[in-house]
Chain A
Amino acid sequence: MTEQGFCIFAQHNDQTDYVRQAYALAMSIKTHMPDSKTCLITNVNIAKNIKDVFDHVIDIPGTDDAEGQDWKIQNRYKIYHATPFKHSIILDADMLILSDISHWWTFLKNYKMYFTSAVKNYRDEFNQNDYYRKTFTSNQLPNLYCGVHYYQRCKENEHFIQLLQYIVRGHSQFYKKFTPKHTQNWCSMDVNVSIASKILGITEKITSQVPYVTFTHMKPHLQDWQNVPDHWMKKVNVYYDDKANIKIDNFRQQGVLHYVENEFLTDDLLKTIEKRYYESVN
C-alpha cells in the first residue's frame, strides 16, 4: 500500500462532468507537489490522456448507493475502503490546488481522521456565516466539512465508517432524530459525518479549532457581500496568468480553492492548467 496520496471521487451525473474537474484538480496537485500521488475513484470509463495524470484509477466499489439520485454523494463513504493509500487526503472534485500544501501531512498525521471545520472566503477571511449551515447551528452539530478531509487506514476508523454507511443509507431517519430543526431533505455528507461524530463523541479528535487545514469556499453567501447573487461568478471576475495563478477580483488565491460553480473551469483555464502541468512534469 502506498504511504500517502490525494483521493478524488467522481461519479458521473447528467449535470456536471466531475471527471473533467478531477482531471484539472489532479494536474494542479502534481504541478505544485510533483512527488504527490493521486487516485481517482470513479464509475466512468476515462480516456487515456486523463488516466495518465493519475497514479491510480479505481472503480467505486460495491453497488451504487446513489442510484436514481441527481447529486451522487451516497457512495462517498466508500472512499475509505477504496483508497490505495495508507494516509489519504480526500478532495472534492470541484477544487484546485494553487500552492504547495504538502506541509499538511505533518499536521494531519497527528490524527486518525480529520475534517475541516472552518472555511475561508476569496478574501482569505474565515467566515462564521451559517446561511448554508442552519441545520448544524440549530441542532448543535459539529461544523464539519468533507470538502477536504483526511483518513488514516486503521482499525480505529472502521467503526466510524460503518456508522457513516448506516447514516447514508438511512439518512432521512437520522436527520429527523438528530436535526429536527432546519431538517435537510437531501443527503449531505457534511451532515452525515457531523451526525456520526456527534453520536460517537469524537469531534475533538477529528477536527481542530486551529484552522490550519482549510479551503476557500466560493458559495456566494460566504463572501461577506451585502448584495448576494445566486452565483458568485455574477459578482466578481476571475483572472489567471499563463501559470494558472488565479485571482478572484484582484485577490490572489492560494491553497485549496473550492470553486463550486462548474462554469469556473472554462476550456481555456483547463488548457492553461494542462500547459503548466506538462511544463512541470517534463
Chain B
Amino acid sequence: MFAHNNKIVDYVKQAIFAAVQIKKHLKLPVTLITSDQAHLNTHYKKQATIFDQVIDIKEHSTNQIKDFYNGAEHKIKDQWKNHLRSTAYELSPYDETIVMDTDYIVGNNNLSKCFESNQDFLIHQKSIYINYFNKPEWKIKYISETGMVMYWATVFYFKKTPRVKHLFNLIQHIKDNWDFYRFTWQIHEPNFRNDFAFSMAIHMLNGHQKGVWPQCLPDSLYYITDRDKADKFEQDCWTVSLYNTQGYTKTLAKNINLHVMNKFSLDNIINSGILK
C-alpha cells in the first residue's frame, strides 16, 4: 500500500485499518510505502507493528488539487498525491504482490485466489457502485468519450515478469508525459489519474487493440463514492448511507471488499474502531 498524507486526509491511518483487514482475511504480509514514516512512528507506534515492512520514500511534490467530498454537502480542496503507484514493481519486496488503495477495505478472502493464478497481472475492468439509485450517473466504461476501456488501479495483482516490468515502465512514461497523453486521449481533467495511466499502458502493450490480457481479479470491485457516507463497520459488515436526489438511503453490505471513497467517514469509522 502507498500512503502519502495531505493536510486533510491521514492515509497512514487508513493503511493501518486496511492492513488489519488484510491480515484477518488474506493472511498476507503487508508493506507500507510512505513518505510519512515519521508520522506513523509518532502517532501510531503501537499499531505500526501491523506492517511487516515500511519503506520510506521521498515525498513527491505535486501541484495536483482535487475536491474531497464528505457526503454530497461538504467538500474541501487539497493536494492529491497519487504519483508513486508506478514504482510498485520496483519497490515491492515480494515476487507476487497485491497493491491496493488504503481506502480499499478487504472483507473476504477472494483475492487470495490471485496466488493460484498463472497470470502475471490481474486488474478490474468493471466496477460496481452499490448505490442502485444513482447508478447511471456513475457509469464509467471508457477513460473518455472516444478512448479505451477503463481499468481500475484501486487494486491489482502482479508477478515480477518482463512484461509487467514493461507495463510499469510505460505507466511511468505516461505519468512523466501526462499532458501529452491526456490530450491524445481527449481527457479533459488535468490531474494525473492512475486508472487512466494503467488503462493507456495496457492498451498500448496490447498493440493499441483490445486484448485478452490482463485478466480480471477473482472478485468484484464494489465501491461507494465520496458523496455517500460510511456510517459503521462491525464484524465485516458496512452500514452505509447512499446518496440520491431525495437524500440518503441506509444499506448494509457484508463480507465484500469495498472501496470507500469518502475519506472522512472512513476516518470516523477508524477512530471509533481500532484506534478507539
Q: A: which residues have CB within 8 A of B?
A: 123-125, 223-227, 235-236, 247, 249-252, 254
How far is B193's CA from A70's CA once the two chains are assembled, in angstroms?
50
Nearest chain-B residue to A236 (Cβ)?
B146
Contact A226 B148 (CB under 8 A): no
Contact A123 B208 (CB under 8 A): no
Shortest distance in angstroms between B146's beta carbon and chain A's nearest beta carbon? Answer: 5
9 closest cross-chain pairs (CB), A and B: A252-B208, A124-B210, A252-B209, A249-B146, A236-B146, A250-B208, A225-B145, A252-B207, A251-B208
Chain A facing B: main interface SS: loop
Q: Return 27 A-B CB contacts under 8 Å, by A number.
A: A123-B142, A123-B148, A123-B210, A124-B209, A124-B210, A125-B210, A223-B146, A225-B145, A225-B146, A226-B145, A235-B146, A236-B146, A247-B208, A249-B146, A249-B147, A250-B147, A250-B148, A250-B184, A250-B185, A250-B203, A250-B208, A251-B148, A251-B208, A251-B209, A252-B207, A252-B208, A252-B209
Nearest chain-A residue to B185 (Cβ)?
A250
Nearest chain-A residue to B149 (Cβ)?
A123
Nearest chain-A residue to B144 (Cβ)?
A249
Chain B residues within 8 Å of A123, by CB: 142, 148-149, 210
Other A-B contacts than A223-B146, A250-B185, A250-B208, 13 sampled, CB-CB below 8 A, are A123-B149, A123-B210, A124-B209, A124-B210, A224-B141, A225-B146, A226-B145, A235-B146, A236-B146, A249-B146, A250-B148, A250-B203, A254-B209
Q: Which of B117-174 contact A (CB under 8 A)?
A: 141-142, 145-149
Q: B: which residues have CB within 8 A of A?
A: 141-142, 145-149, 184-185, 203, 207-210
Chain B residues within 8 Å of A249, by CB: 146-147
How far is B146's CA from A251's CA once the two chains are assembled, in angstroms?
10
Chain B residues within 8 Å of A252, by CB: 207-209
Chain A residues within 8 Å of B141, by CB: 224
Chain B residues within 8 Å of A226, by CB: 145
User: Do A227 and B210 contact each other (CB < 8 Å), given the known contacts A250-B184, A250-B185?
Assistant: no
How far is B144's CA from A235's CA once the two chains are assembled, in angstroms?
12
Chain B residues within 8 Å of A224, by CB: 141-142
How far is B148's CA from A216's CA once the two chains are assembled, in angstroms?
16
How far is B142's CA from A254's CA once the two chains are assembled, in angstroms?
21
How far is B147's CA from A64's CA once the two chains are assembled, in angstroms?
45
Chain B residues within 8 Å of A247, by CB: 208
Shortest distance in angstroms between B69's beta carbon and chain A's nearest beta carbon? Answer: 24
Chain A residues within 8 Å of B207, by CB: 252
How far is B87's CA from A68's CA once the two chains are assembled, in angstroms?
67
Nearest chain-B residue to A227 (Cβ)?
B145
Shortest distance in angstroms between A133's beta carbon and chain B's nearest beta carbon? Answer: 22
- Among B149, B184, B210, which residue has the most Cβ atoms of chain A within 10 A? B210
Shortest distance in angstroms between A221's beta carbon and chain B's nearest beta carbon? Answer: 14
Nearest chain-B residue to A223 (Cβ)?
B146
How far is B149's CA from A247's CA once the two chains are assembled, in angstroms?
16
Shortest distance in angstroms between A100's beta carbon and chain B's nearest beta carbon? Answer: 15
How far is B146's CA from A123's CA once the two chains are assembled, in angstroms?
9
How far is B142's CA from A226's CA once the two chains are assembled, in angstroms?
11
How far is B145's CA from A226's CA once the two chains are assembled, in angstroms?
7
Chain A residues within 8 Å of B210, by CB: 123-125
